[in-house]
Amino acid sequence: MAVPEVRLRALNDRPLQPRRRWVLYWMTSFRRTRFNFALDRAIEHAKALGKPLLVLEALRVGYPDSNDRLHTFILEGMAENARRFAKAPVLHVPYVEETAGDGAGLLEALAAEACVVVGDDWPCYFVPRMQAAAASRLDVRLELVDSNGLWPMRATDRVFTTAHSFRAHLQKALPPHLTLPADAPLARLDLPTTTLPAAIARRWGRAPKDLLEARPAAIAALPIDHSVPPGVMRGGSHVAEARLSLFVSKRLADYPVARNEPEQDGTSALSPYLHFGHVSAHHVFAEVARYERWTPDLLGRSIGGSKSGWWKMSPAAEAFLDELVTWRELAYNLCALRPDDYGSLATLPAFAKATLKKHEKDPRPHLYSDEQLERAETHDPLWNATQRQLVRDGWFHNYLRMLWGKKILEWSPSAKHALERMERLMNRYSLDGRDPCSYAGYLWVLGRCDRAWGPERPIFGSVRYMSSENTARKISVKGFLAKYAAR
Ligand SMILES: Cc1cc2nc3c(=O)[nH]c(=O)nc-3n(C[C@H](O)[C@H](O)[C@H](O)COP(=O)(O)OP(=O)(O)OC[C@H]3O[C@@H](n4cnc5c(N)ncnc54)[C@H](O)[C@@H]3O)c2cc1C
């Protein structure tokens, strides 16, 4: 099945170069070999042109926030991809920059031999800027492919401002887009093969084994921030797929209840894998559908945006898909369609802008510095434990993320400061940070995709308020507090 047109866009107006050596897939965000429309598209080109396929998967050292935690996770994924591509007639080039700037020119050198360059259409952080700059330098077409989620990001030009309106839209408009990328595109693939020309291999050779194996000594030698150690999760598609299968078979049924309890492993914890593309939302959806014995003909008619009853799956599966599809893809909608200000206060609804402004000068009984927040030195034990989990593990629970953000708003001089602080802490420590869902999460804290709440309070105005005392009454946190106590 051809990749749907709505998922494709050319980033420059350069021609295809059919006489050249290979088709190049520049893999930056969908770092996987399965359920990947970009890989499918690159294979389509290679087959149509009768050319080999080369996949460049690179990791730079000079990107903002590069540290041991992010590098280790990405490298574990690259090593897994190298193993999978090695079994197929595809040349995978895992390149790891060892000195800032060393990687410059590699993409251009490979593109100079390419009939077409295929890339990942991912809508935030430095990725779109990097791709636009590359597109203007190349003399060959750079085509981006959207393999982010079930809803193709550019199938609408409407920016949805509530989950309800987006859900209602999906219930009407999603069915024709429910085509999945290939489950196993490398199986029985028949393509001519190629090797890396000696001049390119000499200058930018494949990542050395100890780096690809993410050996601590090899990572320690890289010019990146070594003060953030690896998190508790191991990267790569293999781990992601195992986690997915365990979640669907053992935990999905309890998701509606267990998902709010940080002391239970009630959620999928797939967000780091979704973020780095080690697993795709389509794959997650396919596994849920298979477990539920669901087929598209079961889909109900639009039910006006109600949370459950549309998919015609179990309530637990529908609750999970509401997060994976409605909330996650609402975040992609924001970043794709507001590329210039998706991470700013400008995206807040009028009520939130007005109320936060009105209360900007309210006295703040607790004002903490960036360092106090980072070191979890506040008066609030639950917040401190949450911050420690972020710093130690590189991931934390949704319910506590909401509380974490609300308190940062309460303890910061302004909403703008709060937004910057959430972004800085998450960029540095969270495996799933720097993602559309990150920005959507910070902005939710400040009132986006939410309504006004009463009573009007200091600092928050009519933006939804949360307190640690209330949270501790609603969910169990005793074990959590003990686990993440100060050391
Ligand atoms: C302040 C704040 C910051 C956040 N930062 C991030 C972030 O940096 N990266 C990130 O991926 N998510 C972020 N979220 C959203 C959400 O908290 C996480 O996606 C979720 O906790 C990840 O855990 P999980 O994979 O176990 O989720 P599950 O409950 O298993 O859900 C499956 C998937 O659905 C998506 N999802 C779930 N909840 C949400 C949500 N509320 N909004 C958007 N997508 C959702 C995620 O991709 C998630 O992996 C943030 C939320 C808040 C309030």
Q: Which atom of ligand 1 is nearest to the CA of 444?
A: 53
Question: ∠75-52-284 over CA atoms, to 5°?
Answer: 45
pLDDT at 13: 98
* Whether the CB of 316 sits within 6 Å of ligand 1: no
The whole-number mean pLDDT for each consecutive block of 10 residues of the chain, a chain of 487 residues, reads 96 98 98 98 98 98 93 97 98 96 97 98 97 98 98 98 98 96 98 97 92 94 97 98 98 96 94 98 98 93 92 97 98 98 98 98 97 98 98 96 98 98 98 98 98 97 97 94 94
Q: How far, in Å, from the CA of 223 to the mean position of ligand 1?
A: 30
Provide Rg for the chain, Cα atoms.
Answer: 23
CA–CA gap between residue 445 and residue 409 (Å, rounded): 8
Half-sphere exposure of 440 (CA within 13 A, CB side): 27
Q: Dig out the tokens for 240 from the structure.
A: 């992601």
Strand pairing category for 53-59 and 91-96: parallel
CATH 2.40.50.100 fits 237-337, yes or no: no
> Does the beta carbon of 398 sit less than 6 angstroms from any atom of ligand 1?
yes
Listed by start position, the domains of the chain span: 5-161+178-205+214-220, 237-337, 345-483
Beta bridge partners of 94: 57
**Superfamily covering domain 345-483:** DNA Cyclobutane Dipyrimidine Photolyase, subunit A, domain 3 (1.10.579.10)
Domain 5-161+178-205+214-220: assigned CATH number: 3.40.50.620
Q: Is 393 in the pocket of ligand 1 (CB under 6 A)?
A: no
**Running DSSP on this structure, what letter comes out for residue 192?**
-
Tell me what pLDDT residue 206 has. 86
Q: 333: Cβ below 6 Å to ligand 1?
A: no
d(CA 108, CA 58): 13
Residue with tokens 């039910």: 303
Phi, psi of 242 (to 5 degrees): -65, -45
For residue 437, the CA-to-ligand 1 centroid distance in Å is 6
Q: Measure Cα distances from 97 to 60, 75, 113, 427, 450 in Å.
A: 5, 12, 21, 20, 42
- The tokens for 457 are 């309070």
* 58 ligand 1 Cβ < 6 A: no
Nearest to 324 by CA among 252, 394, 264: 252
Do the bridges between strand 142-145 and strand 53-59 make them parallel or antiparallel, or are there none, so unpaired? unpaired
CA of 233 from ligand 1 middle (Å) equals 16
How far apart CA 409 and CA 418 sit, in angstroms, is 5
CA 388 from centroid of its chain's CA atoms: 22
Q: How far apart are CA 63 and CA 79, in angstroms?
A: 20
User: pTM for the full model?
Assistant: 0.98
Q: Measured from the CB, is residue 433 less than 6 Å from ligand 1?
A: yes
Question: Residue with the nearest Cα to atom 40 of ligand 1?
Answer: 327
